[in-house]
């Protein structure tokens, strides 16, 4: 679809076929939506990993942005390279300049650094490390552009009819699209084709250089039997998640896309998988039967309701803030734009030291007028404390505050509660 604006095309198609038909291919009408009507997910699907039966779905073939769920294909191709003997788990990948220049989330490796393939798998799966994903692309295909073509070709081989990859990370690109159905196919293939290596993607974190790196997938452990796979977020995509869970030896794969908050995403996935396990002994079409309806080429990709959370832009902040990490507060402002500007200025001043700090603006409810906190997030404790000490020594940053993981998590939850209340008040 190069040369054609996806949003404009979505409007044209909707006018022709009607909004009610979007994302409803042949066979989809026989599949129940296991999410409550109030659940905000734009698309969702839950399938049996054993036979690919679809147990529940919502808009399963509507186009959507994958965010970091694209890294499932990066992992799939890396697993293929390991199991074919092209790479060993102890082989080392070299970080190129292009890889080192990737935005967060990343390990912050410098160009020329090396890391084992096993560590690369863990870093991509649990930390969603963009620099490592590009290092994998460089090793397997010579460049990220060539690797993206390989990703798309492999997607077609797996039956992912509506997916197109343009990078190895899932970072924002309007040309990179997928569907809930296609991502379920990919997640199922990841587990089915590489069961031995799949066990590496279910950890809550990993050790690197003697330091523990906390993962970003907060859904792990939330539901009994959950054991992977990948979470993601961009403003255009919303909060996304592909998850696997096993009960009584039977595995389900779930995908939820387009959620406005992390809590909505995790709650929706829990309900989706619970409902899927209850229907596991019933019937249902296969993933293959949910063939793309030729009359419905493009569903709406507009997530304006999510983009508003990113302060009036559909540019993604590239990462989901890790509530299990540390952060520093470098200022308080009256607008989110000013708070983000303050955070970015502080992050630039400390970039050589931090490497992976992420500037972020967070609403601070409970005060009148409402204020916004300027944060540098996704830090280790050993980075956050000296960072604050350094900033306090500077005349322009005297009010630095360290936020430990518990404080940061509580602040994120309070901000999301406030935004939900504001949204509800606006709907009245």
pLDDT at 15 over 50: no
pTM of the model: 0.70
- State the catalytic residue, choosing from 48, 68, 96, 126: 68
Which residue from 253, 289, 229, 248 is spatially nearest to 28, judged by alpha carbons? 289
pLDDT score for 127? 86
**CATH architecture classification, 6-278:** 3-Layer(aba) Sandwich (3.40)
Give the mean pLDDT of the chain. 81
Per-residue confidence (pLDDT) for residue 262, from 0 to 100: 83
Asked if residue 322 has pLDDT above 90, the reply is no
Residue 30 appears among annotated catalytic residues: no
Compute the average pLDDT of residues 308-334: 61
Determine contact, residues 402/376, Cβ cutoff 8 Å: no
Percent of the chain with pLDDT over 70: 78
Active site residue 126: no
| Residue 71 among the catalytic residues | yes
Position 5 pLDDT exceeds 70: no
Highest mean pLDDT among 129-143, 220-234, 296-310: 129-143
Q: How confident is the model at residue 381 (pLDDT cuts 50, 70, 90)?
A: confident
Q: For the chain, which residues make up each domain, given as ranges? A: 6-278, 322-427
Model pLDDT for residues 257-301, shown as the tens digit of each residue? 998 888 889 999 999 999 999 999 888 899 988 865 433 333 345
Q: Quick check: 134 and 98 in contact, CB under 8 A?
A: yes
The reply, when asked if residue 230 is annotated as ligand binding, is yes
Average of pLDDT values for 321-337?
80
Q: Determine the topology of domain 322-427 in CATH.
A: Alpha-Beta Plaits (3.30.70)
Which residue, 293, 46, 55, 70, is CA-closest to 169? 70
Name the active-site residue from 126, 128, 231, 244. 128
Which residue did the predictor score with more confidence, 384 or 71?
Answer: 71
Task: Tell which wins on pLDDT, 386 or 69.
Answer: 69
User: Which segment of 16-30, 113-127, 154-168, 383-397 scores lowest on mean pLDDT?
Assistant: 16-30
The pLDDT score that the predictor gives to residue 56 is 96
């Amino acid at each position: 679809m190069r040369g054609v604006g996806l949003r404009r095309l979505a409007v044209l198609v909707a006018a022709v076929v009607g909004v009610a038909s979007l994302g409803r291919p042949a066979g989809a009408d026989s599949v129940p939506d296991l999410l409550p009507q109030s659940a905000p997910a734009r698309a969702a699907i839950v399938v049996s990993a054993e036979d690919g039966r679809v147990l529940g779905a919502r808009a399963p073939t509507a186009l959507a942005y994958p965010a970091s769920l694209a890294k499932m294909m990066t992992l799939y191709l890396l697993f293929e390279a390991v199991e074919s003997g092209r790479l060993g788990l102890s082989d080392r990948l070299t970080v190129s300049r292009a890889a080192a220049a990737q935005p967060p989330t990343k390990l912050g490796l410098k160009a020329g650094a090396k890391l084992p393939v096993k560590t690369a798998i863990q870093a991509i799966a649990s930390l969603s490390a963009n620099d490592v994903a590009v290092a994998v692309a460089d090793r397997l295909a010579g460049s990220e552009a060539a690797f993206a073509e390989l990703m798309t070709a492999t997607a077609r081989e797996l039956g992912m009819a509506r997916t197109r990859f343009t990078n190895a990370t899932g970072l924002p690109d309007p040309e990179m699209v997928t569907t809930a159905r296609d991502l379920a196919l990919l997640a199922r293939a990841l587990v089915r084709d590489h069961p031995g290596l799949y066990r590496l993607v279910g950890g809550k974190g990993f050790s690197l250089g003697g330091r523990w790196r906390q993962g970003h997938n907060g859904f792990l452990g939330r539901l009994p039997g959950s054991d992977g796979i990948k979470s993601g977020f961009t403003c255009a995509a919303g909060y996304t998640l592909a998850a696997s869970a096993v009960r009584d030896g039977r595995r389900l794969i779930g995908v939820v896309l387009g959620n406005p908050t992390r809590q909505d995403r995790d709650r929706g996935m829990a309900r989706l998988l619970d409902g899927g396990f209850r229907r596991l002994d019933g019937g249902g079409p296969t993933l293959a039967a949910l063939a793309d309806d030729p009359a419905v080429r493009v569903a709406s990709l507009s997530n304006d309701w999510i983009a508003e959370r990113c302060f009036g832009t559909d540019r993604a902040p590239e990462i989901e803030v890790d509530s299990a990490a540390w952060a520093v507060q470098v200022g308080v402002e009256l607008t989110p734009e000013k708070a983000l500007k303050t955070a970015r200025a502080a992050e630039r001043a400390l970039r050589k030291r931090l490497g992976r700090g992420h500037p972020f603006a967070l609403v601070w409810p409970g005060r009148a007028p409402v204020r916004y906190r300027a944060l540098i997030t996704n830090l280790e404790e050993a980075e956050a404390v000296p960072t604050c000490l350094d900033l306090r020594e500077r005349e322009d940053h005297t009010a630095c505050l360290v936020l430990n993981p518990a404080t940061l998590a509580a602040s994120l939850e309070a901000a999301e509660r406030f935004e939900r209340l504001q949204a509800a008040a606006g709907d009245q």
